[in-house]
Structure 1
Amino acid sequence: MHSFRKPSAETVRKFLDAQARLDFTYSPVGATADPFPPPSFRLNHTRERIGTGREAFERAKTALRRWDQFRIGWAEIQPADAPIREGEVVAIVARRLGVWWVNACRVIYVIDEDDPAEPRARFGFAYGTLPDHVGSGEERFLVDWDAETDAVFYDVRAYSRPNLILARLGYPYMRRSQRRFGFESVAAMARSMAAQGMATPTK
């Protein structure tokens, strides 16, 4: 869905109610858990260190739960308080080239691994595209803490291909926007962690 005005919360709610009854636009669903994308999809991958230690990991988890990685100025998640759980349907509302785009996704899986006996802790989730989305594919957001090095990383892995006709015509621009989102979401995560009371290390 697209318009020249930012859609109201009610418009987005009705949009999501309709999309929630529909199926994913691609297969295999859940492939972001694998290191390589399926054939015919393009991979985008951003991985950056965003902190050190258990406290940084906890703050990064909080940031993901609040969808703070989308606080980048030109995109947002609606509803803003959507819980991170399997089956949850959300809208990515973004303004590009003077047009507001509303894209529907459904959370596929949630990762929550934090066993004190293990040297690594991870938290994150992936969502996949529903029919009214400019692209087709899947995106995973993950924070992980390596207890041995004490480093906390933020990792965004996505595979996609164009879905709607406009996306096919403007696919190079779509790819640039996806790469830009990856880098800007790193900065958004760092801002969220700092706002929670902890400065993140500089690279």
Structure 2
Amino acid sequence: MLSLRKPPPDSVRRFLAGQAERDFTYAAVGATAAAPPAGFVADRTRVRLGEGDAVFRAACDALRRWEQFRLGWVEAWPPDAPVRPGGVVAVMGRAVGLWWLNACRIVYAVDEAGPVRRFGFAYGTLPGHVESGEERFLIEWDRGGNGVWYDVLAFSRPNHVLTRLGYPLVRRTQKRFGRDSAAAVFRSVNATAPIPEVFQTTG
């Protein structure tokens, strides 16, 4: 859904109600837990957040608050949506003078103990989304080396005529989201420290 103005909460609520019973727009539901499927562009973003249990817990809390979407030009709605499978959320973004309202459903959640502690979730696209695919947001704490990382893995392809026509801009926007998302999570646990290198790969 596209609009010149930011959609008000009532409009977003109606939009999500209409999407709630719709199917995913791709077949490989849950593939971010293993390997992205063929026919999609896969992107990965990683940034080191720090070390230890306190950083890990703070970063997990940031994901629960959807801090990775508090970017000024992108936000998730509702902002307090619980991170649980089946939940439907909207992702709003502003680009080329328009507000783009997109619908997603949470596919799975991650909460793993062990030598590498992991917490996060993935969502997949519904018909009311200009892209088709899945995105996973993960906090990892390798207890061996003690490092804590924020990791985003996504696969996507266009699902709207405008995203097909403007695909180079779409790709730049996707990369920007990865960088800005990494910076937002880093700042949530390191308010004053300089942001370290953000690693991004495609393939």
Structure 2 counterpart SS, 1:90: strand
Question: Partner amino acid for 1:151?
Answer: G
Give CA deviations for 1:1-47 in whole Å, capped at 9, x if unaligned. Answer: 01001110000000000000100000110011113x21110011101
Structure 1 residue 201 displacement after superposition: 7.1
Give CA deviations for 1:173-203 in whole Å, capped at 9, x if unaligned. Answer: 11111111101111100121235xxx65763
Q: 1:162 to 1:202 in 2, by over 3 A?
A: closer
How far apart in 2 are the matches of 1:127 and 1:62? 18
TM value normalised by structure 2: 0.93
Give CA deviations for 1:116-164 in whole Å, capped at 9, x if unaligned. Answer: xx21100000000000101000000000000011100000000000001
How far apart in 2 are the matches of 1:201 and 1:55? 19
1:77 counterpart residue number: 76
- Matching of residue 5 in structure 1 with residue 5 in structure 2: yes
Question: Partner amino acid for 2:159?
Answer: N
How far apart in 2 are the matches of 1:146 and 1:112? 14
1:43 counterpart residue number: 42
Give CA deviations for 1:75-132 in whole Å, capped at 9, x if unaligned. Answer: 0000000000000000001110100010000000000012xxx211000000000001
Segment of structure 1 superposing worse, 130-139 or 166-175 = 166-175
How far apart in 1 are the matches of 2:62 and 2:101? 22
CA contact (8 A) 1:50 1:200 kept: no
Show structure 1 runs of 5+ residues with no match.
Answer: none
Show structure 2 runs of 5+ residues with no match.
Answer: 197-203
CA contact (8 A) 2:71 2:184 kept: yes
CA contact (8 A) 2:45 2:178 kept: yes
CA contact (8 A) 1:193 1:200 kept: no
Q: Which runs of 4+ in 1 moved over 6 A?
A: none
How far apart in 2 are the matches of 1:180 and 1:15? 26
How far apart in 1 are the matches of 2:71 and 2:12? 19
Structure 2 counterpart SS, 1:45: strand
CA contact (8 A) 1:51 1:200 kept: no
CA contact (8 A) 1:124 1:141 kept: yes
How far apart in 2 are the matches of 1:30 and 1:56? 27
How many residues of Structure 1 are paired with residues of Structure 2 in the alignment? Answer: 196
2:110 counterpart residue number: 111
CA contact (8 A) 2:183 2:195 kept: no
CA contact (8 A) 1:43 1:158 kept: yes
TM value normalised by structure 1: 0.93
CA contact (8 A) 1:46 1:155 kept: yes
How far apart in 1 are the matches of 2:115 and 2:30? 25
